[in-house]
Amino acid sequence: MNDPQWQLVDDFLTERLAPADAALKATLEANATAGLPAIDVSPLLGKLLHVLVKAVGARSILEIGTLGGYSTIWLARALPAGGKVTTLESDPDHAIVAKANLTRAGLYHLVDLRLAPAAETLAELKAQACPPFDFIFIDADKPSYPEYLTWCLQLSRPGTVIVADNVVRAGKIVDASSSEPDVQGIRRFLDMLAAEPRLSTSALQTVGKKGYDGVAIAVVLR
Residues lying near ligand SAH in the complex (CB under 6 A) are found at 39-41, 65-67, 70-71, 88-91, 94, 117-118, 139-141, 144
139 lines the binding site for ligand DHB (CB under 6 A): yes
Element housing 50 (H / E): helix 43-56
Exposure letters 90-112 (e unless 16+ CB within 10 A, then b):
bbeebbebbbbbbebbebbebbe
Element housing 48 (H / E): helix 43-56
CA 14 – CA 37 distance, rounded (Å): 21
Element housing 30 (H / E): helix 22-33
113: partner contacted, choices ligand DHB, ligand SAH, Mg ion, none (Cβ within 5-8 A by kind): none
165 lines the binding site for ligand DHB (CB under 6 A): yes
Closest to Mg ion by CB, 63 vs 134, is 63
The answer to whether 197 and 171 have CB atoms below 8 angstroms apart is no
Vertex 54: Cα angle to 76 and 49 (nearest 5):
65
Shortest Å, Cβ 218 to ligand DHB: 18
Closest to ligand DHB by CB, 26 vs 39, is 39
Q: Which residue from 110, 139, 160, 161 is in contact with Mg ion, where contact means CB under 5 A?
A: 139
Closest to ligand DHB by CB, 99 vs 210, is 210
Closest to ligand SAH by CB, 65 vs 83, is 65
Residue numbers at the binding site for ligand DHB (CB under 6 A): 39, 139, 165-166
